[in-house]
Amino acid sequence: MDSRRGRHLEENVSIKRILLVILALALLCGPASAAAVSAGDSGDPLISKSYIDGIYPDLVLAAPFKNLSDAMTALAYKLSQTSSSQSGVAYRLVMPDGTISLTAGSGFTLVFGSVRLTANSGTVLDLTSGTPVSRGSSLVSGHRYLAAENTTAAATAVTGSKIAVCGSVFLKTAAAPTFTDVTENHWHYPYVCYAVQKGLVNGRNAQSYDPDANLSIAEAVKLAACMHQLYGSGRVTLVNDPALWYKSYLDYALANGIVTKTYANYDAAITRSEFVAVFYPALPKSAYVQKNAVGGNAIPDVKASAENAEQIYAFYRAGILIGSDGYGTFYPGNPIRRSEVAAIVTRMFEEDARQSITL
- The per-residue DSSP string of 239-308 comes to ---SSSTTHHHHHHHHHTTS--S--S-TTSBPBHHHHHHHHGGGS-GGG----S---TT-STT--TTSTT
d(CA 167, CA 246): 49
Is the Cβ–Cβ distance between 128 and 122 less than 8 Å? no
* In-domain check, residue 73: yes
* 244: number of Cβ within 10 Å: 11
* In-domain check, residue 4: no
Non-local (6+) Cβ contacts of 227 within 8 A are 200, 279, 282, 283, 345, 348, 349
d(CA 109, CA 140): 9
Non-local (6+) Cβ contacts of 64 within 8 A are none
Examine the domain organization and report whether 308 and 214 are in the same domain: yes
Examine the domain organization and report whether 247 and 151 are in the same domain: no
Q: Which residues of 213-236 are buried (b: 16+ CB within 10 A; e: fewer)?
A: bbbbbbbbbbbbbbbbbbeeeeee
Residue where one domain finishes, among candidates 172, 200, 227 = 172
Examine the domain organization and report whether 278 and 232 are in the same domain: yes
Examine the domain organization and report whether 138 and 282 are in the same domain: no
pLDDT at res. 157: 95
Which residue segment(s) compose the domain that 49 sits in? 44-77
Examine the domain organization and report whether 207 and 303 are in the same domain: yes
Examine the domain organization and report whether 98 and 72 are in the same domain: no
Examine the domain organization and report whether 314 and 214 are in the same domain: yes
Examine the domain organization and report whether 145 and 219 are in the same domain: no
Q: Which of 264, 257, 314, 267 is nearest to 288 (CA)?
A: 314
* In-domain check, residue 248: yes
Examine the domain organization and report whether 110 and 248 are in the same domain: no
d(CA 138, CA 140): 7
Examine the domain organization and report whether 113 and 140 are in the same domain: yes
* In-domain check, residue 183: no
- The helix (run of H) or strand (run of E) holding residue 210 is none
Cα separation values, 102 from 56, 153, 177, Å: 60, 5, 25
pLDDT at res. 220: 95
Examine the domain organization and report whether 321 and 349 are in the same domain: yes
d(CA 55, CA 177): 71
pLDDT at res. 81: 52
What one-character DSSP code corresponds to residue 54? H
Examine the domain organization and report whether 69 and 193 are in the same domain: no
Domain count, the chain: 3
Q: Can you give the pLDDT of all 359 residues of the chain as single tens digits?
A: 455 555 555 655 566 566 555 655 555 555 544 455 565 565 665 666 666 666 666 666 666 766 777 777 766 665 655 554 444 578 999 999 999 999 999 999 999 999 999 999 999 999 999 999 999 999 999 999 999 999 999 999 999 999 999 888 999 999 999 999 999 999 999 999 999 988 888 888 889 999 999 999 999 999 999 999 989 998 889 999 999 999 999 999 999 999 988 899 999 999 999 999 999 999 999 999 999 999 989 999 999 999 999 999 999 999 999 999 889 999 999 999 999 999 999 999 898 899 999 88
* 21: number of Cβ within 10 Å: 10
* In-domain check, residue 11: no
* In-domain check, residue 13: no
> SS in 3 state form for 148-207?
CCCCEEEEEECCCEEEEEECCEEEECCCCCCCCCCCCCCCCHHHHHHHHHCCCCCCCCCC
> SS in 3 state form for 111-134?
EECCEEEEEEECCEEECCCCEEEC
- Name the percent of the chain in helix, strand, coil, to the closest 5: 40, 15, 45
Model-level pTM greater than 0.75?
A: no
* In-domain check, residue 98: yes
